[in-house]
Amino acid sequence: KNEVEQSPQNLTAQEGEFITINCSYSVGISALHWLQQHPGGGIVSLFMLSSGKKKHGRLIATINIQEKHSSLHITASHPRDSAVYICAVRETSGSRLTFGEGTQLTVNP
Amino acid sequence: NAGVTQTPKFQVLKTGQSMTLQCAQDMNHEYMSWYRQDPGMGLRLIHYSVGAGITDQGEVPNGYNVSRSTTEDFPLRLLSAAPSQTSVYFCASSYSSGGSYNEQFFGPGTRLTVL
């Protein structure tokens, strides 16, 4: 069983829909990261959080440390949001990141 | 700032050949790492470094060597390429503050094919 599980694996939405991607993990962490990988392959960091909630534009990330769960929300989705979204955790005991397999999001016009 | 740069972007090798994937960052980040990305799997850590002169193994280190002689550079060496090393390789860096590591900055990736 992976230490980091994402759901769903694939998600198709219509433009304008509200989207939620979930991430569950099984280890103690110091931080959780959400990353975006575009079709061209480049990976960018969206959020790093250790508690509560962060918002950037139409993106919102939340984390519940007690339940070992995080969600990434996209409001008013747009075709340019189509990408793979990756959750990663940094364990309390070290410096390394452990990654989920990613969620492929497709937003249709 | 150029951020994290990787060369080459694409490479084709024959089984048994050796080569070095280059990674450099100009942000004075202490932490640098190499990952491989394969279909159906998450990014997997090959080697990492928490500062110049310090390296350590990640999840999948076999067949790869690294060194960190400067803060800026973190090359990954394939000693004797095998088809199982066909993958996309990403280098990443991050800085630490207050004993914690911060967001990761990724290079554009190197697509390697071993025939």
Report the residue from A42, A45, A101 with minimal CB separation from B103. A45
CA distance A106 to A13: 6
What is the three-state SS of chain A? CCCEEEECCEEEEECCCCEEEEEEECCCEEEEEEEEECCCCCEEEEEEECCEEEEECCEEEEEECCCCEEEEEECCCCHHHCEEEEEEEEECCCCCEEECCCEEEEEEC
Residue B114 neighbours by CB under 8 Å, 6+ apart = B12, B13, B14, B15, B81, B82, B83, B84, B85, B86
Report the residue from B33, B35, B103 with minimal CB separation from A33. B103
Question: Maximum distance among all alpha carbons in chain A?
Answer: 44
Give the model confidence (pLDDT) of A8-39 as tens digits.
999 999 999 999 999 999 989 999 999 999 98
Reported confidence tier of residue A93, pLDDT bands at 50, 70, 90:
confident
Q: Which residues of B touch A97 (CB under 8 A)?
A: 33, 43, 45, 104
**Nearest chain B residue (CA) to A34:** B103
Report the residue from A95, A101, A102 with minimal CB separation from B31. A95
The mean pLDDT of chain A is 94
Reported confidence tier of residue B99, pLDDT bands at 50, 70, 90:
low
Give the model confidence (pLDDT) of A33-78 as tens digits.
999 999 878 999 999 999 999 999 999 999 999 999 999 999 999 9
Q: How far apart are the first and last CA of chain B?
A: 36
CB contact under 8 A, A95 and B101: yes
Residue A101 neighbours by CB under 8 Å, 6+ apart = A2, A6, A9, B40, B41, B42
CA distance B8 to B108: 10
**Nearest chain B residue (CA) to A48:** B103
Report the residue from A31, A48, A99 with minimal CB separation from B43. A99
One-letter amino acid at B60 equals V
Choose, out of A6, A38, A96, the residue to mutate when testing the contact with B (most B CBs < 10 Å).
A96
CB contact under 8 A, A101 and B42: yes
Place of tokens 């972007």: B9
CA distance A10 to A24: 16
Say yes or no to pLDDT of A100 above 60.
yes
CA distance B9 to A44: 17
